[in-house]
Amino acid sequence: MKKYFIITVLSILVFSALPVIAQDNDAALCEKGTNLNKERKSAEAIECFDGAIKQNPKNDKAYYGKGVALGRLLKYKEALEAFDESIKLKSDDACPYIQKALIYQLMGKNEEALACYDRAIVLDPKDSAPHYDKGLIYFTMKKYAESVECYRKSIELKPEHFKWLNKGVSLNSLRKYKEAIECFDKAIQMEPKYAKTWYNKGFTLSNNSKFSEAIKCFDESIKLDPKDYMSYYDKALALLDLRKYDESLKCFDKAIEINPKYENLWCDKGAVYDAQNMIKEALLCYDKAIELCHDYPNAWYNKGLALYALGRYEEAVETFKKCRSLLKPDNHEFRSVLDNAIAKATGVIKTKKSTTKK
């Protein structure tokens, strides 16, 4: 994939017969600016490009380079203006449109970015990168079918392992698990030592309830990247589904060792204890998850269930109420579950009080 914020060195024109002059011409200044851009010395690069533009206002490369430097300085509006000037001077160049697309992405303006990529594709239909980048945008917009189509076009022009990987991720999001696995296998065939592909294949297999196969993929991912806590995490979940509790806990412990501040790990480790009716141990895990993220509804809900199981009904009611206060207004299903849990615990409390009075 092209990295458009890294400017390739422009061709150097050599004039062997010209006399030496004190001041650089616009081409030399442009070259200096380009080299400074490569060194990420953006402010100095802009000075060079401004000098080139002053000497030659029709130097499209100077506006282009200035736009890149401004983008790196997060001056997005000025960067877009520079790219627009470059386009005015050389309207058949796809590169400024690609740079504009990247700026729009950074600004969160996905539709504008897509329009720029579309224009770049018209100008340079054999470049695979804009199709790929469009696929990434559509994925963030949760338009997975459109994302798959963009990756398909990019792969058609230039097959690369990370394109197959991302196509597989989009297909997984569409629950097209068989097709997703085929994409991951293509990616692995091209680059067998890329841990993320093995992880995503395992994740998709887990989604398709093929837990034993998933575990093998997570093991491959871990071999390639032993510090990837997510591979341990999802392996632990797969082992939990297979009711291999001791192995699952070992994986959770390894994941927590790598990333002890990830609340989901603690919450799901608690679920392993819950599955073995080790309620006190589960409760400790839920408390740790809440300590790390106080606004974590699942941890509060699971804690409420643990408290109920321990006969601590009043605490359970308060915990369920706390969980309910954290829900989004449109989460009606979870709210209904909590209302039922509160009603059940409240009913037990009333019954106990009534029995005590008698």
> Does one domain contain both 311 and 321?
yes
CB 80 within 8 A of CB 66: no
Q: Which two tokens stand for residue 266?
A: 């603690």
Q: Is residue 349 part of a domain?
A: yes
Residue 199: CATH number of its domain:
1.25.40.10
pTM for the full predicted model:
0.86
Q: Is residue 292 part of a domain?
A: yes
For residue 236, pLDDT over 80 is answered with: yes
> Does one domain contain both 230 and 270?
no
Residues ≥6 apart with Cβ < 8 Å to 189: none
Of 259, 285, 302, the domain-final residue: 259
Of 259, 274, 307, the domain-final residue: 259
The range of the structural domain enclosing residue 209 comes to: 193-259
Tens-digit pLDDT profile for residues 33-73: 999 999 999 999 999 999 999 999 999 999 999 999 999 99
Say how far apart CA 80 and CA 64 lie, in whole Å: 10
Q: Is residue 167 part of a domain?
A: no
Give 327 or 17, the one with higher predicted confidence.
Answer: 327
Q: Is residue 127 part of a domain?
A: no
Of 220, 239, 259, the domain-final residue: 259
CA distances (Å), origin 69, targets 37, 54, 64, 73, 123: 6, 17, 9, 6, 24
For residue 16, pLDDT over 50 is answered with: no
> Does one domain contain both 244 and 271?
no
Mean pLDDT, range 217-236, rounded to an integer: 98
Percent of the chain residues past pLDDT 90, beyond the cut: 91
Q: How many domains does the chain have?
A: 2
> Does one domain contain both 235 and 288?
no
